[in-house]
Amino acid sequence: MAIPKGLAARAIVETDSNKSKLYIEVREGNRFSNFYYTYTAVGQGRGRIVKAGTPRHRGFAKTLEDAVEQIMKAMKDHAKRNKTEIQIHTTVRIYRKRLYRKLLSLRPDELGLSYVRPLPDRRTQTRTNNHLPASYI
């Protein structure tokens, strides 16, 4: 199987209860808001159905492994609330190690997060034309 161009790392989360697999990918060109691209795939081959998931932002986790841990914890908590047992198997593959390290080391503004400069506080500024109204004279 060929590695897609720009794919740095991929994690696969699968459960025993159903046939669907959750994929989490780190790709080159992903912005801050969708740094961890997720999708769910059911089946294999030509009959495979792929459904896009909610993307996770860069602040969700420091690494792909941490993101998988958080998602696994949420799945286990959900199963505990429903009083069921769940078996979760994970696989993390780093395809391009140098690219993966580079993407993790980028600052948020380099990933496309806009930087907003705080405006000066109006309460602390002195006004130059601070005349008294005519009613006070």
Residue 8: exposed, middle, or buried by beta-carbon count in 10 A (0-12, 13-18, 19+)? buried
pLDDT for the residue numbered 125:
64
pLDDT for the residue numbered 9:
93
Distance of CA 124 to the CA centre of its chain: 39
pLDDT for the residue numbered 94:
93
**Residue 9 and residue 93 in contact, taking contact as beta carbons nearer than 8 Å:** yes
Q: Where are the domains of the chain?
A: 7-107
pLDDT for the residue numbered 47:
86
Phi, psi of 109 (to 5 degrees): -70, -25
Interior/surface letters 105-122, b for 16+ CB within 10 angstroms, e for the rest: eeeeeebeeeeeeeeeee
Reading the chain (137 residues) residue by residue, the pLDDT tens digits are 678 888 999 999 998 767 789 999 998 988 888 889 999 998 888 888 889 988 888 888 888 899 999 989 998 999 899 988 888 899 999 999 999 999 889 888 888 877 777 777 766 666 555 666 666 65
pLDDT for the residue numbered 81:
93
pLDDT for the residue numbered 137:
58
pLDDT for the residue numbered 128:
58
pLDDT for the residue numbered 109:
82
Q: Which two tokens stand for residue 38?
A: 């997720």
Q: How far apart are CA 137 and CA 132, in angstroms?
A: 8
pLDDT for the residue numbered 130:
61
